[in-house]
């Protein structure tokens, strides 16, 4: 199944699917729960376009690679090329806001971190980035007040608000564009709030973006 960006209505968005630039430890409470120091500048990594899949598609666990953790994050769809962009240009480039899962092979990541190796094997694997449809920013109150929630099997497991981000969305996109040119169709994943954990076969996930949208998926083996 080929992934294409869509609006939450299901209508397609005429942008290619590019890279996904992610930020680690952008919520203090999440850095704490994994015993990680709070970084002095955004800790960036990239998932390739082959990591992107539709949120509703069931998540398949691979038994050989250890625990797969969910990290629920606000996703930003970039609509214009950005290089060394100001915060104003960064905001102007935002086409839509949605939710994404930064699926993480946590055991693999711990081993890589111990050795001081890059995280790609733990973060950039195929289908490691399920994305929901997008909402146009005009439907959201403010970039600084976006709520996200994740329920697993009916229990609230993650809850955050973009106001809690260590680097807010405009500054984050601007800073990313100083390292990597962002192209139309690229995605920025803005970090996960506390409450991450391992997925198990049979889990039912419900993610909420503000009061606007609910998205469902489940875990299979
Ligand atoms: Zn993440």
Q: What is the domain count for the chain? A: 1
CA 144 to chain centre: 17
127 part of a folded domain = yes
pLDDT at 30: 84
Q: What is the CA(94)–ligand 1 centre distance, in A? A: 20
Give the pTM: 0.95
> 65-107: per-residue pLDDT in tens?
999 999 999 999 999 999 999 999 999 999 999 999 999 999 9
Q: How far apart are CA 183 and CA 220, in angstroms?
A: 34
pLDDT digits (tens, 9 = 90+) for 106-123: 999 999 999 999 999 999
Any domain includes 189: yes
Please report whether residue 130 resides in a domain: yes
Q: Is 156 helix (H, G, I), strand (E, B) or coil?
A: strand
Rounded distance from Cα 102 to ligand 1 centre (Å): 5
Where residue 131 sits, what CATH number does that domain have? Answer: 3.90.850.10
**In angstroms, what is the span from residue 72 Cα to ligand 1's centroid?**
7
Q: Is residue 137 situated within a structural domain?
A: yes
Please give the distance, rounded to the nearest whole angstrom, from the Cα atom of residue 163 to the centre of ligand 1: 17
| Residue 209 resides in a domain | no
What is the Å distance from ligand 1's center to 44 Cα? 10
Give bridge partners of residue 151 from the DSSP assignment: 156, 206
CA of 211 to the centre of ligand 1 (A): 22
Q: How far is the CA of 143 from the centre of ligand 1 (A)?
A: 19
Domain span at 48 = 33-74+83-193
In a domain, 28, yes or no: no
Backbone φ/ψ region at 123: left (φ over 0), alpha (ψ -120 to 50), beta: alpha
């Amino acid at each position: 199944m080929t992934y294409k960006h869509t609006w939450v209505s299901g209508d397609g968005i005429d942008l290619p699917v590019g890279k996904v630039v992610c930020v680690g430890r952008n919520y203090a409470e999440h850095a704490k729960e994994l015993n990680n120091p709070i970084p002095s500048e955004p800790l960036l990594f990239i998932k390739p376009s082959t990591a992107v899949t539709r949120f509703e598609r069931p998540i398949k666990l691979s038994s050989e690679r250890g625990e797969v953790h969910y990290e629920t994050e606000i996703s930003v769809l970039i609509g214009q090329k950005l290089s060394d962009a100001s915060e104003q240009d960064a905001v102007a480039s935002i086409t839509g806001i949605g939710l994404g899962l930064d699926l993480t092979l946590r055991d693999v990541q711990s081993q890589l971190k111990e050795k001081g190796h890059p995280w790609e094997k733990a973060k950039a694997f195929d289908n490691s980035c399920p994305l929901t449809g997008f909402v146009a920013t005009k439907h959201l109150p403010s970039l600084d007040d976006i709520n996200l929630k994740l329920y697993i099997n009916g229990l609230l497991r993650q809850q955050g608000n973009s106001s809690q981000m260590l680097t807010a969305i405009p500054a984050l996109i601007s800073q990313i564009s100083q390292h990597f040119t962002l192209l139309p169709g690229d995605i920025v994943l803005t970090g996960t709030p506390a409450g991450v954990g391992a997925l198990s076969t049979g889990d039912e996930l419900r993610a909420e973006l503000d009061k606007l949208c609910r998205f469902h998926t489940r875990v299979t083996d």
